[in-house]
Amino acid sequence: MFTATYLALALSLVLLPPTEIRPDQVEHVALPCVQAGATADDADAAKSLNQQLATKMRGYMNPYNTSCARVIVETVQRAGFNDRAAAIAIATVIVESSVANLDGGLGDSVGLFQQRASWGSFEQRTDPVWATGRFLAVMRQFYPNDTWNNVAIGEVAAVVQRPAAKYRHRYGVEAGDAVKIVGELWTHNGQ
């Protein structure tokens, strides 16, 4: 006989692959993304996005993870990249950390992008500006001369992150929502 707990577990395994963590299941400490904390604009953007999103983050955007997404978008803008580059970065952090700057993860992975120790120090990888810059630099290594503009968002994210083959599709699943998040925050930045 199935118990309610067993049934809930079975349903969660059907809905999400075993290693995919929903935003409400994150077990690591979320470090600040913005020194001053989330703003009223972040709260307003989160409310708007919760109505627009269709996948993993639907209903889970809050002022905190919206502030993290805002830091990524602003970093991309300051680096002179376009909104598509920001969508690639955002699709990545949706999959990797549910847009949270985590103090841990699988193995030695930390931060928004769940970058491994080979990417930099703990302090660097948990600094959203540094981590975004490093992600963009690696993206440019794989896609010189901005050729990433001609490749699917999910494919670029998978090439940069290099997950196991069976998980590569996850970034593409989040691409549409990443574009919506960037659209919301790019506008708020006066661009």
Going residue by residue through the chain (191 aa), what tens digit of pLDDT does each one get? 434 433 343 334 334 443 455 666 667 788 999 999 999 999 999 999 999 999 999 999 999 999 999 999 999 999 999 999 999 999 999 999 999 999 988 889 999 999 999 999 999 999 999 999 999 999 999 999 999 999 999 999 999 999 889 999 999 999 999 999 999 999 644 44
Can you tell me the distance from the alpha carbon of 8 to that of 161, in angstroms, rounded to the nearest whole number? 31
Q: Residue 93: which residues within 8 A CB-CB, separation 6 or more?
A: 68, 69, 72, 99, 112, 113
DSSP bridge pairs for 31? 101
In this prediction the pTM is 0.86
Give 70-84 pLDDT, tens digit per residue.
Answer: 999 999 999 999 999
pLDDT of residue 187: 66
Give 37-89 pLDDT, tens digit per residue.
Answer: 999 999 999 999 999 999 999 999 999 999 999 999 999 999 999 999 999 99
